[in-house]
Amino acid sequence: MDFSIKNMKLNNLILPVALALIAAFATTGCKHGPNGQLTTVPGQRLPAPSATPADFNTKPIVAENTPPIVANTNPPVVSQFNGNPIPTSAGWDPADMNQDREKLAAYTVHFKFDSAIVQDHEQANVANVGQALSANPAAKLLVEGHCDERGTEEYNRSLGERRALALREALAKIGIDPMRIRTISYGKDQPVDPGHDESAWAKNRRGQFVYCTPKAPVQ
């Protein structure tokens, strides 16, 4: 079941339903502790995109719907990201897996000019990708980093990698094992829009998610 909330309009329309679903299924999240460090919230794996504490307070019933046993059967979330770069994952090769480019296409993240910072309004896309990975422990992720044409070739190849790595770090921050995630930079070699204006550039500065699953064993 897809219980993700893709935008605020949807949220407004079906908030009660969504909140109930979130509480029932989204067993997720990290909180910032008093010292600013990430701390573990037992029983939660991914943050629900719009489930703020205020929402829970207005709908106390959701707490009752969460079976306490979940906390015991799921390992506590340990954030994989402490602010330092995470060494890349070498244990698997995307070329050896089925690559589904469509499944996560709706969650493509866009960046500001010359920036590899994941903007706040893109966190929902990151969360949705995280949920897809949590739903299938065998799945892995290839993150593609792309740039607009306003940069030199090799500079953009590094910037695209930095963008892909920033998304990997954002996923690690919400509890996804970064070793499940590989990155690839295409620099400015693979624009989605071949135009030469701000509208094209904005589309081309992006991180795309390729959902990878093991190939069926050969009979």
Whole-angstrom distance, CA of residue 26 vs CA of residue 103: 20
What amino acid is encoded at 152 in this protein? T
Q: Which residues contact 75 (CB under 8 A, 6 or more apart)?
A: none
Write the Ramachandran bin of 114: left for phi over 0, alpha for psi from -120 to 50, otherwise beta.
Answer: left
* Contact in structure between 88 and 162 (CB atoms under 8 Å): no
User: Residue 197 carries which DSSP code?
Assistant: S
Q: Does 194 bind another protein (CB under 8 A)?
A: yes
Q: How far is the CB of 116 from another protein (least distance, A)?
A: 7
Which x/- pattern over 87-126 shows residues binding another protein (rule: CB under 8 A)? xxxx--xxx--------------------x----------
Q: Which of 152, 192, 193, 214 binds another protein (CB under 8 A)?
A: 152
Q: Does 171 bind another protein (CB under 8 A)?
A: no
Q: Which stretch binds another protein (CB under 8 A): 21-29, 67-75, 81-89, 124-132?
A: 81-89
Binding site for another protein (CB under 8 A): 84-90, 93-95, 116, 149-155, 157-159, 161-162, 165, 182-187, 189-190, 194, 196
